Chain A
Amino acid sequence: MKYLPLIWATLWRKKTRTIFTLLSIVIAFLLFGVLETVDYAFSHPSGGVSGADKLITINKYSITLALPFSDTQQIRSVPGVAEVTWITWFGGYYQEPKNFVFALPIDTDTYFNLHKDEFIVSDAEMQAFRNTRTGALVNVALMKTFGWKVGDKVPLHSTIWTQKSNGSLEWSFDIVGTFDAKDPTQASQQASSLLFHYEMFEEGRSFGKGSVGWFEDRVSDPSQSLEVAQRIDALFANSSNETKTQPAKDFTMAFIKQLGDIGFILRAILGAVFFTLLFLTGNTMMQSVRERIPELAVLKTLGFSDGKVLLLVIAESLLLCVTAAVIGLALSYGALPIIKRGLQGVELLPSALLPGFAVAVILALIVGAPPALRAMRLNIVDALADKH
């Protein structure tokens, strides 16, 4: 610590250069924090459908291809299946496309039976939902986001489904109640959810009648999940609507992977950024040491050993890189809520930022080592003579 004033003063010897170097490292770590958090969330999903007893059945060739509703009874008849419900992607938003709403048309009985113990809904509001054909149950977080109240009539715009009656993409719902996740760790998954009646959706849509997007199946014995999945798929093998059934967590991962190998893309971006940063910061440190050769020689004349001079330069590099990294990672932490809004249902964990500190230290050691070694090997007489 007693060397800190010396190191700090040395760092700010050329203020403009230090500020620009600091900013470049801050931006690199801001990017690192954001991308690392997103990558971590995608590679460790908490599962769009929670629970080890849940399976997702989709069209074998693509989730965008529908399955016949009539498959429901056949799936229910498969040994090991305790419950089946059906979902179709609505693709909704409120007022503007950026206000995404995860609107799900559901069959009330089977959906809540399959997801029992996952929701907190009052009996009165559940009853109101059952009794209102155009009714909607809305997640409490979503209510807060848009300032909705129970009793409001809200229009949602579907990106897919036009109404049979008027060809419009606008669908109107009456908010009759709210719900929350029983498990707080699932709260963010449901934060933008709105549930409405599948019946209303089926009657109202102008095309796709009799089809569903996918089935959610609950198995009675989670240890048999894979076997039950195979049985379901065997049921529809060689039919015109072959299925692919997998555990819910695997489904989430596969869905995300449709976007591409997120991890590879993010790592490639970060790799390019840090590769450039390595040279930029390394060059700055080398330049800084070159300019200070006489001063480093004077430190040696005062009795600073070769090792001490090496450590001083390394410490300077660490102070620069770690300080900038802390600022960058703090900014990325502050940006998480904004990113969360764009990645609905993806759990972004601040703990994913922690490796950033290790990266900062490694970066500091790599860029600091060459100039530190140069400083260590400095010949006092030659260095002092060069000055003059």
Chain B
Amino acid sequence: MSEAVVTLRNVVKRYTRGKQSVEVLQGLNLDIAAGEFVALMGPSGSGKTTLLNLIGGLDTATSGEISVAGQRLDQLNSGGLARWRANHVGFVFQFYNLMPMLSAQRNVELPLLLTKLSAAQRRANALAALTLVGIADRAKHKPNELSGGQAQRVAIARALVADPTLLVCDEPTGDLDRKSADDVLHLLQVLNREHGKSVVMVTHDPKAAEFASRQLHMDKGALLESGTLAA
């Protein structure tokens, strides 16, 4: 078994809304090995997006230990988390979240603005990422000139360009038609199998979950494992 890229120990996440306190995650324990493609499924309100946000360093746990790519996230402040995210995590969202006023290439270059790369190197790396996802011919197009599937590919390129350890995907096919969804899922599978990227994907779609090598189910803040699929 590969070394764990994600380790959670007794993780609790509690939200306070006025006088009410809601425990969204209840003492979660989880290990994700490097190179795994994990699908996280469950009904609305089960805590899967909360879990994803904690793994991706977007949120902090109320208690417990979270270790991702060798870093204890629970020990980092907001500045530290930002730096860690820049170097280790790539995010893919349901609604792409591309900057509407930037071209596809410029969108993909955004994470590289945080590096010391020159403008020429940033351009080259962005184009390489767009080529990897099969959309280099649309580099100069703005998001409103792309189809949903194309926009999501650009988003995946942006997530990859800084060569992260982990790809975190929140319903990446939720806004796509079947064909586009399959194309995107195939792409994630390729990135996982051929490029060794670890992927954690939240999805409602059982068909999307089939692309993963492992499925996890969540309900009421607890994790239920349904098994590891054959590669």
Taking Cβ atoms with an 8 Å cutoff, the residues of A that contact B are: 2-3, 5-6, 9-10, 12-13, 294-295, 298-308, 380-381, 384, 387-388
CA A301 to CA B114, docked complex, whole Å: 12
Known A-B contacts A301-B58, A302-B86, A380-B59; the reply to A6 vs B110 at CB < 8 A is yes
Min distance, Cβ B61 to any Cβ of chain A, angstroms: 13
Complex contacts, A6 vs chain B, CB 8 Å = 99, 102, 106, 110, 113
Does any Cβ of A come within 8 Å of B37's Cβ? Answer: no
Residue of B nearest to A5 (CB): B106
**A-B CB pair tally, cutoff 8 Å:** 71
Instruction: Find out whether the CB atom of B87 lies under 8 angstroms from the CB atom of A303.
Output: yes
Does any Cβ of A come within 8 Å of B97's Cβ? Answer: yes
Instruction: Find out whether the CB atom of B58 lies under 8 angstroms from the CB atom of A299.
Output: no
CA A305 to CA B162, docked complex, whole Å: 16
CA A5 to CA B86, docked complex, whole Å: 20
Does any Cβ of A come within 8 Å of B43's Cβ? Answer: no
Min distance, Cβ A10 to any Cβ of chain B, angstroms: 7
Complex contacts, A304 vs chain B, CB 8 Å = 82, 86, 114
Interface 9-residue window, one of B88-96, B127-135, B203-211, B217-225: B88-96
Does any Cβ of A come within 8 Å of B56's Cβ? Answer: yes
In the assembled complex, 7 residue pairs joining A and B whose CB atoms fall closer than 8 Å, in A order, are A13-B100, A298-B99, A302-B111, A303-B82, A304-B86, A305-B79, A305-B82
Instruction: Find out whether the CB atom of B97 lies under 8 angstroms from the CB atom of A303.
Output: no
Does any Cβ of A come within 8 Å of B141's Cβ? Answer: no
Does any Cβ of A come within 8 Å of B78's Cβ? Answer: yes
Min distance, Cβ B166 to any Cβ of chain A, angstroms: 13
Apart from A6-B99, A13-B100, A303-B162, 17 more pairs, CB < 8 Å: A12-B101, A294-B97, A295-B99, A300-B82, A301-B58, A302-B110, A302-B111, A302-B114, A302-B158, A303-B85, A303-B87, A303-B111, A306-B79, A306-B82, A307-B79, A381-B58, A388-B94
What 0/1 pattern do residues 110 to 148 of B give for CB contact below 8 A with A?
Answer: 110110000100100000000000000000000000000
Complex contacts, A9 vs chain B, CB 8 Å = 99, 101-102, 106
Residue of A nearest to B119 (CB): A2
Min distance, Cβ B71 to any Cβ of chain A, angstroms: 14
Residue of A nearest to B15 (CB): A381
Does any Cβ of A come within 8 Å of B53's Cβ? Answer: yes
Residue of B nearest to A3 (CB): B113
Assign chain B's interface to a size class.
20 to 34
Residue of A nearest to B91 (CB): A301
CA A5 to CA B103, docked complex, whole Å: 11
5 nearest A-B pairs in the assembled complex, by CB-CB distance? A303-B86, A305-B82, A9-B101, A298-B97, A303-B85
Residue of A nearest to B155 (CB): A298
Name which of A12, A295, A298 has the most chain B CB atoms within 10 A of its CB: A298
Min distance, Cβ B224 to any Cβ of chain A, angstroms: 24
Instruction: Find out whether the CB atom of A305 lies under 8 angstroms from the CB atom of B83.
Output: yes
CA A26 to CA B1, docked complex, whole Å: 66
Complex contacts, B53 vs chain A, CB 8 Å = 380-381
Min distance, Cβ B198 to any Cβ of chain A, angstroms: 17
Q: Which of A301, A303, A388 contacts B83 (CB 8 A)?
A: A303
Complex contacts, B97 vs chain A, CB 8 Å = 294-295, 298, 384, 387
Instruction: Find out whether the CB atom of A306 lies under 8 angstroms from the CB atom of B78.
Output: yes
Min distance, Cβ B105 to any Cβ of chain A, angstroms: 11
Min distance, Cβ B191 to any Cβ of chain A, angstroms: 18
Min distance, Cβ A363 to any Cβ of chain B, angstroms: 24
Known A-B contacts A302-B91, A306-B78; the reply to A2 vs B113 at CB < 8 A is yes
Complex contacts, B114 vs chain A, CB 8 Å = 302-304
Instruction: Find out whether the CB atom of B79 lies under 8 angstroms from the CB atom of A384.
Output: no
Complex contacts, B59 vs chain A, CB 8 Å = 380-381
Residue of A nearest to B168 (CB): A301
Complex contacts, B79 vs chain A, CB 8 Å = 305-307
CA A179 to CA B224, docked complex, whole Å: 101
Min distance, Cβ A298 to any Cβ of chain B, angstroms: 4
CA A3 to CA B113, docked complex, whole Å: 7
Complex contacts, B95 vs chain A, CB 8 Å = 387-388
Complex contacts, B78 vs chain A, CB 8 Å = 305-306
CA A307 to CA B83, docked complex, whole Å: 12
